[in-house]
Amino acid sequence: MEGCSIGVTRFIAFIALICLLTACASVQTIPVYVEELSVDGETIRRLGTYEGGGITAVYIIQNGEGGARAVIQAAEAQGFNDTIRILVLTNVQTGLTERVEVLEHNETEDYGGYVTEEWFLGRFVGKDAETSLRLVKMAVKSKEDIVAITGATYTSQAIVDSVNMCLINYRRIIEEVEL
Amino acid sequence: MRKQVRILQFLALLLVMTLVAVACSAPVEAPAETGNGAEEQPSGQEGEKIVISGLESTDIEVIVEEIKDLKSVTVNATSVSSSGEENQYTVTGPIFDDLLKKYGKSQDDLSGIRLVAGDGYSIEVSQEILQSRDIILAHTIDGQPLDEKTRPIRVVIPEERAMYWIRNLVKIEVLESAPKAEVGRVLILETLISQANAEDYTYYESTDKAVKVEELLELLALESLPDTASFVASDGFEKNEQLDIFSKGYIKFTGEDAPLFLSPDLPKGMHIKSIYLCSMGDVALVSQQMAAEVLGTKEVKDKVGVDLKELINKAGLADADKYLLTAADGYTVEILREDREKGVVFINSKGQVTTFFEDLPKNTQVKDFLSIEGIE
């Protein structure tokens, strides 16, 4: 009887070990670019169910009281040369975009390479998440307008498309998730 | 003992449940990145054609394979971009002159060609370049076939700026030689622009001001429009542009690179920075500010500006016994041929381009100086 119990215990321990290994393998570390956007006392939660279709990652930054401060999304779109990966941080309290960063690109230096410049990315800051942005070529005429980088319309369009994708996804998250 | 076993079993079960819970709460794996990053390699160029117009009475369609069958050369060539960036390539392809020989012609016979790319980018190659350079119709660069955006042919003109190295060549237009018209009127670009409606034009990080070329052409009220506009930039760079392309663009007159010809619908390589001179038929537009950079300035009675005689000579204004100076408001005054060298064109305290002549009456000080032309 005692031998049987020991066998069962060993079996359970084996299963436990398998589970432990599976759990360890599936736990992902939070990327540095997301961690850097949180402050002490805040926690970061991943919303895997809202990823896909160009949105490669969604995180919610929660403050000490458990309320959501921001939604961070990583997205990608085809640029002129290659895929461009971006990050969009939307402030949950204001519903406005707070930060747009380019995580990775391979655009030509003299053309789309300007995509990482603050003066270009700054054009996406403070945009209402309820709206969709529109690329224009010369000058801004409305709040939704984003002026393309001179000579790099294709690259600029890729960023606008990615940010719009994140804004649509953000609206879905706000509607469906209790933040 | 049994109790200990049960405790162990309970603990193990608890551990399993905890681990299962942890595993289930772990985030969903992010989808793998979909962009492969690598551009598709050409899959063959069967049937692709390049059009040559103006060589014979009808357009000639040349199969790309025929071009590739011509004797190829391989050379090391350096491209220099407008920002000065240099890139070295080993390019392989036949010489344009060998293609022309098939049609009984030579580069030396041509007065100019225009190379046209699939995206609408085009550039004129002058007779001077045709007579001094080999033009390589490259099908291989650095040992590799051309990529999707560059095929079927990339034009390479060694020793010439990268703007001539057009990708995705679709057409070569052979241009007719047109006798250069004598300039009968020189206009000051800054004053002409001040008569047009300025619009905001975002250029990289700054929002500058620009005017439509179409509006400038209306203000010029030219009797007949030439086919091309010829530009000289402050760094000596020269370029011809088709007037129908030029007329659809803008001149940005504030901020970096001004006066700058550009258009939101034109490839950046067709923009022309720091325009000093623009000639269209018998009219020449000259920028006072760029002329000051190119020609230097002189001081006449505390007025620092460009020498009038030099300004109009460089613009190609025909010699005359008298000259008529016109202001933007229509005011006119005549000066004699010998008075040209007494004059200076400067910017006054109100920002207006103004003339001043040493020892001539005050009425020869033309504010908002718009134009000068020879009169009988």
Collect all residues of chain A within an 8 Å Cβ-Cβ radius of residue B16: 12, 15-16, 19
Give the pLDDT mean for B68-94.
Answer: 89
Q: Chain-wide mean pLDDT for chain A? A: 90
Q: Which of A9, A23, A82 has the CB atom closest to B26's CB atom?
A: A23
pLDDT tens digits for range B141-151:
999 999 988 99
Name the residue ranges covered by the structural domains of chain B.
49-174, 185-375
Tell me the chain A residues in contact with residue B26 when contact means C-beta distances shorter than 8 Å: 23, 26-28
Quick one: pLDDT at residue B80? 82
Question: Where is pLDDT greater, at B106 or B85?
Answer: B106
User: Is the pLDDT at B34 greater than 60, yes or no?
Assistant: no
Determine how many CB atoms are found less than 10 A away from the CB of residue B177: 9
8 Å CB contact between B347 and B288 = yes
pLDDT given for residue B146 in this prediction: 95
Is the per-residue pLDDT at B29 higher than 60?
Answer: no
Tell me which chain B residues have a C-beta less than 8 angstroms from the C-beta of A2: 1-2, 5
**pLDDT attached to residue B24:** 43
CB contact, 8 Å: A39 with chain B? Answer: no
Give chain B positions within 8 Å (CB) of A8. 9
The closest CB to that of B15, out of A6, A16, A138, belongs to: A16
How sure is the predictor about A64, in pLDDT bands with cuts at 50, 70 and 90?
A: confident
Separation CA A32–CA A36 (nearest Å)? 6
Nearest residue of A to residue B2 by CA position? A2
What is the per-residue pLDDT for A70? Answer: 97
Q: What is the mean pLDDT of residues B349-358?
A: 97
pLDDT confidence tier of residue B325, bands split at 50, 70 and 90 = very high
Assess whether pLDDT exceeds 50 at residue A41. Answer: yes
Whether residues A5 and B2 touch (CB distance < 8 A) is answered with yes
Residue B38 pLDDT exceeds 50: no
For residue B39, what pLDDT band results from cuts at 50, 70 and 90?
very low
* 3-state secondary structure (DSSP) of residue A16: helix
**Residue B82: Cβ-neighbour burial (10 angstroms; 0-12, 13-18, 19+):** middle
Q: CATH fold of B49-174, please?
A: Sulfite Oxidase; Chain A, domain 2 (3.90.420)
| Contact assignment for A150 to B23 by CB distance below 8 Å | no
For residues B34-48, give the mean pLDDT. 42
> In chain B, which residues have their Cβ closer than 8 Å to the Cβ of A78?
35
Contacts of B28 in chain A (CB under 8 A): 46, 48-49, 51
Nearest-Cα distance to chain B for A83, in Å, is 5
Q: Which residue has the higher pLDDT, B18 or B179?
A: B179
What mean pLDDT is predicted for residues B328-349?
97
Interface test with A, best of B14, B79, B205, B206 (most A CBs within 10 A): B205
Task: State yes or no: pLDDT of B46 exceeds 70.
Answer: no
Whether residue B372 has pLDDT greater than 80: yes
A19 interfaces chain B, CB cutoff of 8 Å:
yes
Q: What is the mean pLDDT of residues B257-269?
A: 94
Answer yes or no: is pLDDT of B35 > 60.
Answer: no
pLDDT of residue A1: 52
CA distances from B69 to B66, B94, B100, B116, B319 (A): 5, 8, 14, 22, 54
Average pLDDT over residues A150-173: 97
Q: Are A75 and A107 in contact (CB under 8 A)?
A: no
Q: Which residue has the higher pLDDT, B176 or B335?
A: B335
- Note the pLDDT of residue B181: 77
pLDDT for the residue B41: 33
pLDDT at site B376: 79
Confidence band of A14 (pLDDT split at 50, 70, 90)? low
Q: Kind and range of the H or E element at A100? A: strand A96-104
Q: Place B159 in a pLDDT band, splitting at 50, 70 and 90.
A: confident
Query: Smallest Cβ distance to A15: which of B5, B16, B265?
Result: B16
> For chain A, what are the domain ranges?
1-30, 32-176
Confirm or reject contact between A83 and chain B (CB < 8 A): yes
Q: Work out the average pLDDT over B54-80.
A: 93
Cα separation, B221 vs B215, in Å, equals 10
- Looking at residue A173, its pLDDT comes to 97
| DSSP, res A149 | B
Say what percent of chain B tops pLDDT 90: 76
B86 touches A at CB < 8 Å? no
Q: What is the pLDDT of residue B338?
A: 95
Q: Which residue on chain B is closest to A156 by alpha carbon? A: B204
pLDDT of A130 strictly over 50? yes
3-state secondary structure chain B: CHHHHHHHHHHHHHHHHHHHHHHHHCCCCCCCCCCCCCCCCCCCCCCCEEEEECCCCCCEEEEHHHHHHCCEEEEEEEEECCCCCEEEEEEEEEEHHHHHHCCCCCHHHCCEEEEEECCCCEEEEEHHHHHHCCCEEECEECCEECCCCCCCCEEECCCCCHHHCCCCEEEEEECCCCCCCCECEEEEHHHHHHCCCCEEEEECCEEEEEEEHHHHHHHHCCCCCCCEEEEEECCCCEEEEEHHHHCCCEEECCCCCCCEEECCCCCHHHCECCEEEEEECCEEEECHHHHHHHHCCEEECCEEEEEHHHHHHHCCECCCCEEEEEECCCCEEEEEHHHHHHEEEEECCCCCEEEEECCCCHHHCCECEEEEEEEC
CB–CB contact B199 A85 (8 Å): no
Q: Are B12 and A7 in contact (CB under 8 A)?
A: no
Contact A9 B8 (CB under 8 A): yes
Structure confidence at residue B79 as a pLDDT band (50, 70, 90): confident
Partner-chain contact B27 A20, CB within 8 Å: no
